[in-house]
Structure 1
Amino acid sequence: MERAAAQIGAKVRKQEEKAPTPSGPVEQQFPFGATWILADLGGKSIGGDAPSFNLDDKLRAVGFGGCNTFSMSLYPIKEQKLAAGSIAMTRKTCGKEIDDTEHTMLVTLHSLPKWHLESNGDLTVSGVGGTLRFKRGL
């Protein structure tokens, strides 16, 4: 009886050794210090002065929403999400289309969105406001 239990135990250990270890998707490192320029919002191209932001290594995002400048704390966290602090911004109005784009971008960045660096170097951010695709600036 003991010998049978030992043989079963040895078989189980062998199977565990052969079993592949689970590996989920590899988390990417957020590229601090890069300037990101909004290329499209939900597949719709952005015209005019494109919104942009830069996230430094002190986790401070500063940017331009298309009409107003803004700053906020922005933290890349597990599962490739972004957690945001309060937004400080100027309060100009520049017309419905520009104001709506700015609002959507800031709501999306502030909604605990998921982010992903694409193979072509673009940054995609998806959250409550929609999907934002940024191109890396100079």
Structure 2
Amino acid sequence: MPHSLILPMAAHVAIAAFLYALLTAARAPSVWGFGRSADGSNPWADLEPRISANLSNQFEWPLFFHVACLLLLQSQPGYVASVLAWIFVAGRILHSAVQILTRNVRLRGMVFTVNFLAVLGLWILVVLAHAA
């Protein structure tokens, strides 16, 4: 049975959906008035721009992840492709947590490097699969 790339792709879609829900919740006090602080302010105002930026990040480098997975699905993706795809997903979760919960740009860059290398690995597999 070939190692499927559909589940890691779906997991990344779930991450993006979660971020949309989180952003909606963070904006609710300002937009709808739900959850305002006693002084009328938004208690999530500090996190909202970071959640928004992270959500935007889900449509940048991850595009190359999804394209590589789709191309690999045309062949028989193996164990290495599956491992790289799951490393990417785990890295995206970590990247989101670091970007939203901290201001540690160095750590965020290190986590992004894991994502970056996983996708480059997938693209090497794409080239090898389609060069034969």
TM-score of the aligned structures, taking structure 2 as reference length: 0.26
The structure with the largest helix share of the pair is 2
The structure with the largest strand share of the pair is 1
Structure with higher RCO (Cα < 8 A, 6+ apart): 2
TM-score of the aligned structures, taking structure 1 as reference length: 0.25
Structure number with bigger Rg: 1
